[in-house]
Amino acid sequence: MAAARVYKHPETGDIAIPRVMFALSEPLRLSMVQLLSERGEVDSVELGPDLPRSTLTHHTSLLRESGVVFVRAEGRQCMIQLRRDDLETRFPGLLDTVLHGYQESNPGMAEA
Amino acid sequence: MAAARVYKHPETGDIAIPRVMFALSEPLRLSMVQLLSERGEVDSVELGPDLPRSTLTHHTSLLRESGVVFVRAEGRQCMIQLRRDDLETRFPGLLDTVLHGYQESNPGMAEA
DNA sequence: ATGCTTGTGCGAGAATAGTCGAACGATATG
DNA sequence: CATATCGTTCGACTATTCTCGCACAAGCAT
């Protein structure tokens, strides 16, 4: 058995504001986060069905390295989820405020 | 009387999350905002006494254009203040959360 | 094992952002 | 008016980020 894909994540205490802010400063990533917030854990592809895979990996990696999302391998796909609790612990209210504020200007963006 | 320097600011309703997030993703600008939060209105130079003026203008302009600060000419200097109320109206709690979270990792940074 | 699918790493190119010196316009002071 | 001081603009350079094609490795099915 070979070691499956393993992803490095920052410790909760190491999640830094500037990194998080930067991660959430891109509309594309912001949309991803918003979708994650609505759906819970999703297949990475759902975050950008039309994007080239290498571009998708780029953004999911950035979100992961900044501490915003948790990534795990599931077979050959990878599943992504928000680190809600960790973010809430570290920066209470931040995520909700940002998502609420963004949603306001992007109504009806990721509807089921 | 020539028209004094006039600065363009986005309307409160036009302040957008991605821009704000980006503005606050730079440690330097974050520090400026933190200092503004403590001091109220300050001379622009106080935001970066050691920086080249053109660099200072660059960052204050970015903060202004993103809707984070309000700038007004005062003689030949310029005075900067946080758009606290506007930001609170638009994204309630955001500023406090961010500053609190940043302060935590940068204790004792702009002490009087 | 062969073939298919999926994510990742690498590299190149384009776009964006940061830094800073120099020249300029505007304002205050002598 | 002459001069000094301030902020702005411009241009150049560097650094970072974004995008994406391509090759590769890992997982699943036949």
Interval A5-23: pLDDT, tens: 899 999 999 999 999 999 9
Q: Which residue has the higher pLDDT, A109 or A37?
A: A37
Task: Give the lowest-confidence range in A19-28, A95-104, B37-46.
Answer: A95-104
- The whole-angstrom separation of Cα B20 and Cα B8 is 16
Positions in chain B whose pLDDT score sits under 50? 110-112
Shortest-distance nucleotide from B78 CA to C1': D7
Q: Would you say the C-beta of A25 is within 7 Å of strand C?
A: no
Question: Is the Cβ–Cβ distance between A23 and A62 less than 8 Å?
Answer: yes
The answer to whether B25 contacts A18, with C-beta atoms less than 8 Å apart, is yes
Q: Which domains does chain B have, with CATH numbers?
A: 13-102 (1.10.10.10)
* Mean pLDDT on A79-103: 95
Task: Evaluate if residue A1 carries a pLDDT over 90.
Answer: no
pLDDT confidence tier of residue A106, bands split at 50, 70 and 90: confident
Per the prediction, chain A carries an average pLDDT of 92
| CA-to-CA dists, residue A56 to A53, A72, A105, B111, angstroms | 5, 15, 24, 42
User: Which of A15, A97, A106 is most worth mutating to test chain B (most B CB atoms within 10 A of its CB)?
Assistant: A97
Q: Is A28 on the interface with B (CB under 8 A)?
A: no
